[in-house]
Amino acid sequence: MQIGETIRRCRKSKNMTQEEMAGRLGVTAPAVNKWENGNSLPDITLLSPIARLLGISVDTLLSFRERLTPAEISEIIRRMDSMFREKPYDQVFVWAREKLEEYPDCESLIWQTAVLLDAHLVTGGIFEEAAEDSSAEEFSCEEATEGLEGAREREIPESSPENADSFVVAPFSISPDVRSPAPESPASAEKYEAYICSLFERVLESGDEMLRGSAADSLYGFYMRKKCYDKAEEYLRYFSIQNPERKRKQAEILLATGRTQEGLKTLEELLFDQYRTVNAVLHEMYLAALKGQDMERARLLAGKESELARCFEMGAYQEASPGLELATMEEDADAVIAITEKMLSGLVLSGPDDIYGFRYSRLYEHMNFRKIHPDFIAQTKKDLLRYLQDEETLRFMKENPRWQALIKKHAL
């Protein structure tokens, strides 16, 4: 809110006329009128008297606040989206820019405004029109970047949309049927793109890691859309090496630039890593359920581990193993025997059903797996048999003839 709006609102709340206010401050009524209409500003020496007269602080008079609340930010964004449904892009753009000038340090508002401006610029159809123009000249990424830099110096309309206060709040959405009319030409869109990118660049300096990542993601998407892949790649440094999105985006660039094999390998590595992460999470949840003696939940989670291994084609051993501990605890002899048979059979370097069955899956056909030494398999089998022959753990299986035959079959 501007100072004039604050003066008008507070004056009216005290049922004071402009003449009365002017008389008490020793100024003319037209001077007060000019303040309230934004045509001039009070002298700095009058700020404290005005604030005392209106019963507010100087900070309130100047509309100072440390930060907008999340609710206030959402309100501004909803209002902007609503305006896009009714007004041309150029007018809404000016309104949005003035809002950011009013709250220049609100990084969340800056980022959300930039996202909304960019989305409506794209969905307004201007880029589709340019693509359909067969005579349109193609530009290199260097020329596109230089164009954005130059566009930052171009004039953008100063006037605000009329009756902006009349728009109602609407949920954020972009429907093709209600989108704002696009700027008149690709050239006019370029200057808006430059401003939008400058907003994202500002947020890159944020101390908030999530906002920095969001801004980097937006700039990555912008330059990918422009097919400026080297420029898009620059923004990957804002993503942690541990962030899977960084690897996925790297693969997207590789595929887009014709490095298909490398791109597919990167995606497969990401898929494989994600299996291990999700499996570890499920297993921790399973252990927590066991600790809390929630056997129904433990059974559910063990089943999910098996389903996950099946979905990611990890092999029969990985599919079977999650259920062994639970079957043992519940003294389910048939389940123990069935699971043990699959696990012991998998401890053979024979193909898709072995302990490393994923090496045979087409999901990972571009990955290079190191050769498994037979001694490692032998040791794994030895450790499993030691567990299976533990009298305390599996005492209920001791007299089971099927169990005895199974152990004898696989004994080292």
Report pLDDT digits (tens) over 195-233.
999 999 999 988 899 999 999 999 999 999 999 999 999
CA-to-CA distance for 238 and 235, rounded, in angstroms? Answer: 6
Give residue 289's pLDDT. Answer: 94
Q: Are 287 and 309 in contact (CB under 8 A)?
A: no
- Each as own residue / partner, the long-range contacts of residues 205-214 (CB below 8 Å, 24 or more positions apart, any chain) are 206/107, 208/107, 211/107, 211/108, 211/111, 212/238, 213/238, 213/239, 213/243, 214/111
User: pLDDT grade, residue 182 (50/70/90)?
Assistant: low
Burial of 69 (0-12, 13-18, 19+ CB in 10 A): exposed
Q: Indicate whether 348 pLDDT > 80.
A: no
Give residue 65's pLDDT. Answer: 59
Report pLDDT digits (tens) over 318-337.
999 999 989 988 899 999 99
Domains and CATH numbers, the chain: 3-61 (1.10.260.40), 70-239 (no CATH), 261-410 (no CATH)
Sign of the torsion formed by the C-alpha atoms of 262, 266, 267 and 272: positive
Q: Where are the beta strands (DSSP E) in 241-396?
A: none
| DSSP code string of 54-90 | HT--HHHHTT--S---HHHHHHHHHHHHHHHTTS-HH
| C-alpha closest to that of 342 among 317, 306, 310, 312 | 317
CA-to-CA distance for 188 and 335, rounded, in angstroms? Answer: 70
Q: Indicate whether 313 pLDDT > 90.
A: yes
- Each as own residue / partner, the long-range contacts of residues 217-221 (CB below 8 Å, 24 or more positions apart, any chain) are 217/245, 218/111, 218/114, 218/115, 218/118, 220/249
Give residue 151's pLDDT. Answer: 46
CA-to-CA distance for 279 and 99, rounded, in angstroms? Answer: 47
CA-to-CA distance for 332 and 323, rounded, in angstroms? Answer: 11
CA-to-CA distance for 259 and 18, rounded, in angstroms? Answer: 71
Q: Are 61 and 50 in contact (CB under 8 A)?
A: yes
- Separation of CA 404 from chain center: 54
Q: What is the mean pLDDT of the chain?
A: 84
Q: Which helix (H) or strand (E) holds 190?
A: helix 186-203
Give residue 203's pLDDT. Answer: 94
CA-to-CA distance for 146 and 226, rounded, in angstroms? Answer: 13
* For range 398-412, the mean pLDDT: 86
CB contact set of 114 (below 8 Å; sequence gap of 6+)? 196, 199, 200, 203, 215, 218
| C-alpha closest to that of 205 among 134, 107, 87 | 107
CA atoms within 13 A on the CB side of 162: 0
Say which residue, 378 or 32, is predicted with more confidence. 32
Q: Indicate whether 91 pLDDT > 50.
A: yes
